[in-house]
Every structure is written in C-alpha cells, then in structure tokens.
Chains A and B, each alone.
Chain A
Amino acid sequence: MLDVSSEDIASIVRMVFETVFAMPASDTEPGKLPTSVASSLIGIAGKWDGAVILDCSPGVARELATIMFGVPEAEVDRSHIEDTMGELANMIGGNLKALLAPPCTLSLPTVVEGHDYRVRVPGATVVRDLSFELPRGFLRVLVAERGSGRTTGVAA
C-alpha cells in the first residue's frame, strides 16, 4: 500500500517545476484535460509496485520542451516533447521512489502522444490523482499501484 501522501507527491511536482522550469505548478481540481494529450509513464518495481503517469496538453508539453531545450517554440519537434515528457516522469518518479521503502527500482520512461488513446497499467489501480495548473494549461499526475487486481486505464 502506498505510504506517500498526495501532499508529498504535490511537493515533488512543485519542486521539479520550480527547479527545472522556473514555473509555479498550482494545485487544481482534477479533470480539466483536453482530448489531445501527451502522456509519459515510469514504472517502479520492488517493495512497492506501480507507476507514475503524467498527462498534459500538447501545448503544455511544447512549452516545457521549449524551456528544457532552450530553443524557440517554433523549433520544438516531437522528439523534444518526447524527451521532455520522459525526463519529467523520470524526475517525479525518481523522487517519489526516494520516499518508498527500499528496495525499489525505476524503469526507463515511456511517452505517448496523440488523440483518443488509453494508457493501461495491468493489475493496478489509481491511488493518487493530482492536477496542477500551469501557465499554458494543466498537468495531471496519477500514481497507480499494482496488487489491487484491477486495471487502471488513463484516458485521453
């Protein structure tokens, strides 16, 4: 059972955004995502099994990639967005892992971008669901835990 509170996870997200993007990430109500989404996922395995899933609009992902790569927005391409979303999942997942009972290992991140898709974590259920308001849109952070016997589908 996940022994990390929503507030602890929110603190990690805010710290990552302030440190990497010099951008505030304010808590907001869940469910304000557009139909077109960029997602990234990173798995954690060990004493706790699950995944961290990030969803945001392509506009948010593009803005984050612009900052991370230091290039004009017009020059940002899909590979910049994929790398940025993957690293964002890596940093948030890695810092969450540090709060879990060891041993746990972090997977390499996976990134999905497009319309009308669903990210599934077999055998897991969402145990934390947080949303953040960013200057260009919203970021949703889901933590899915394995072991419940249910499957989490993350809709876009």
Chain B
Amino acid sequence: MHALIVDDSRAIRSVIARMLRQAGWTVSEAGHGQEALEVLASLDDAPDIALVDWNMPVMDGYALLQALRSNPGYEQMQIMMVTTETEIERMQQALAAGANEYLMKPFTQEALAEKLGILGLDLAA
C-alpha cells in the first residue's frame, strides 16, 4: 500500500508515517496542497490513499480535494481528511466534494486503522 500524507505539520506527518510504515506501507509526504500535486505528478502510479489536512498554507486541504476530484487521473485514489476541523458542516462539505473518509485529530492508531479498514485498506503489520 502507498499513502500520500499532506499536512503542514511535520509532527503529524511523522506520527502518521510511523504508523503506516510499521505496517509495511510506502509513504510519500507533502507540506501543503500545491506540494502534494507536485509529488503526485512525480509518481509513476497514484497512491492508494491521500491523507489530507484541512488547514495548510499555500493550498489548503479542501482546495486540494477539489483539485484531485476534478482530475480523472486520481479518481481511483481514496482521500481521507485528517483534521481538527471537527464541525459536522465541514465533514459534510468534504464528503460532498469527494472525500471518502474523515478522521478527526487527535487520533489513535486504532482509530486510523478503523477508518482505513472502512476503505478496505489494512493497517495490520
């Protein structure tokens, strides 16, 4: 499995990457939406999932979500918003724009595994 983690917080990228790598996943990282698009363009194959923060500089997670969902090349890539934006309206907005799942910060490894499991992705090592 291959995940793209998009978060301006290096700390959060580190936490998620550690959880995924322990399970044998390949991880790519980006610090904001524009960088995520550049990382994706450099990859031969799209990752299985993008884990996307909402509040980021340069290009935020919602703008990235819209950009990805308007590009047929990424229609198979699942997108999970991973954010402190915990209001139900934000969640509905993201899901309506094409996000597959929504994970609220802070989260445990078990919570991440559960959300990935809903999407058919296994975090078991």
CB distance from B81 to the nearest CB of A (A): 13
- How far is B75's CA from A46's CA once the two chains are assembled, in angstroms? 35
Indicate if B121 sits at the interface (CB-CB under 8 A).
no
- How far is B85's CA from A7's CA once the two chains are assembled, in angstroms? 21
Q: Could you tell me if B84 and A16 are in contact, using CB atoms closer than 8 angstroms?
A: no
Main secondary structure of the interface of A (DSSP, over half): helix
Query: Size of chain A's interface in residues, with CB distance under 8 A?
Result: 24
A19-B108, A95-B86 known; A65+B11 contact, CB < 8 A = yes
Q: Which residues from B are CB-within-8-Å of A131?
A: none
Interface residue tally on B, bucketed by range: 20 to 34
Main secondary structure of the interface of B (DSSP, over half): loop
Indicate if A87 sits at the interface (CB-CB under 8 A).
yes
Q: Which residue of B lies closest to A104 (CB)?
A: B87
Q: Could you tell me if A94 and B86 are in contact, using CB atoms closer than 8 angstroms?
A: yes
Q: Identify the stretch in B12-20, B40-48, B62-70 within 8 Å (CB) of chain A at 4 or more residues.
A: B12-20
Q: Which residues from A are CB-within-8-Å of B18?
A: 70
Q: Could you tell me if A87 and B12 are in contact, using CB atoms closer than 8 angstroms?
A: yes
CB distance from B91 to the nearest CB of A (A): 11
Name B's A-contacting residues (CB within 8 A): 8-12, 14-15, 18, 55, 57, 83-87, 89, 105-108
